[in-house]
Amino acid sequence: MPLVPTAALMEEAVRAGTAVLAFNVVTLEHAEAVARACERTSAPAILAVSHNAVRYHHDDPAPLLAACAKVAHGSGAPLALHLDHVEDEELALRAPELGCSSVMFDASRLPHEANVARTAAVSARLHEDGVWVEAELGEIGGKDGVHSATARTDPGEAADYVRATGVDALAVAVGSSHAMTTRTAVLDTRLIAALRDAVDVPLVLHGSSGVPDDALVEAVAHGMRKINFGTHLNAAFTHALRESLSDRTGVDPRRGLGAGRTAVTDTAADLLRLLCRAPSTA
């Protein structure tokens, strides 16, 4: 089916008190796996291509995003296309040209005033093209050397930031950490509820791969409306790939890549079943 705007998926999640899951796509196999998982569970999802994935593909986002769009068009599932953790303004502004209905513009490593100014400018320009914009007030743990989940977003500062930048969603620091390979993060659900009450845009959880299932359900119940997964899928993919390569006969890469794709399908389907219909206690 045609790509669905991220804004439409988010509006429905806010109305229903559920969450939209965003899955990071690195290869074609990831996109195919997410589409199959959504078909299996009758749930929507966001195909998210990060700035790091763009760098991996020789700094050219077009081929991977075109492949994602083709997968979505061939699928019966509602899928949106999103640019994630974009630090470069020029790349962010290319979102409409690249078929993306949303961008996470990440100026979180800049000083606060510069973050606000750049995010506000990018958000205003993207809104002219109908692009939904997510941003981050301060760096969430575990990204590019910050290996701590102790960062916390202040509700008052969050409200000021949303008003000043005009963004459509806010990624917040509540105890998760990027690139965790163990699911041991402890989320601050009271803070999630306080942030939900302080801002008038949906909250986004990054670093979700390190959060246990029950804590993810609680996060949605307390107000998280977009949940991002990357490392969790990659762990499933690479584990299946290693298992496949343990038999050292044969040279066909499709065997390992296919095993990885199946593992990501199963993992994404489990997460969709867990979270997309989680009831809200808001």
- Whole-prediction pTM: 0.93
Homologous superfamily, domain 6-275:
Aldolase class I (3.20.20.70)
DSSP, collapsed to helix, strand or coil, labels residue 133 as strand
Query: Residue 143: its pLDDT value, please?
Result: 47
Confidence of residue 216 (pLDDT cuts 50, 70, 90): very high
Respond yes or no: is residue 84 known to be catalytic.
yes
Residues in Cβ contact with 112 at an 8 Å cutoff, skipping those fewer than 6 apart: 138
Confidence of residue 245 (pLDDT cuts 50, 70, 90): confident
Instruction: Tell me the per-residue pLDDT of 76-133, one tens digit each, with 9 for 90 and over.
Output: 999 999 999 999 999 999 999 999 999 999 998 899 899 999 999 999 999 999 999 9
Query: Residue 146: its pLDDT value, please?
Result: 35
Residues in Cβ contact with 154 at an 8 Å cutoff, skipping those fewer than 6 apart: none
DSSP, collapsed to helix, strand or coil, labels residue 140 as coil
* Token code pair at residue 69: 């769009």
Checking if the pLDDT of 184 tops 70, the result is no
Confidence of residue 195 (pLDDT cuts 50, 70, 90): very high
Distance CA(66)–CA(83), nearest Å, equals 13
Checking if the pLDDT of 147 tops 50, the result is no
* Token code pair at residue 191: 């803070």
> Residue 48: in which H helix or E strand, if any?
strand 45-50
Confidence of residue 137 (pLDDT cuts 50, 70, 90): confident
How much is the mean pLDDT over the chain? 90
Please give the distance of CA 158 from its chain centroid, rounded to a whole number.
19
Q: Where do runs of H (alpha helix) occur along 76-178?
A: 89-93, 112-128, 155-165
Query: Residue 13: its pLDDT value, please?
Result: 96
Query: Residue 275: its pLDDT value, please?
Result: 95
Domain positions in the chain: 6-275
Give percent of the chain above pLDDT 70: 89
Q: Of 59, 84, 144, 247, which residue is the catalytic one?
A: 84
Are 44 and 80 in contact by the 8 Å Cβ rule? The answer is yes
Question: How long is the chain?
Answer: 282
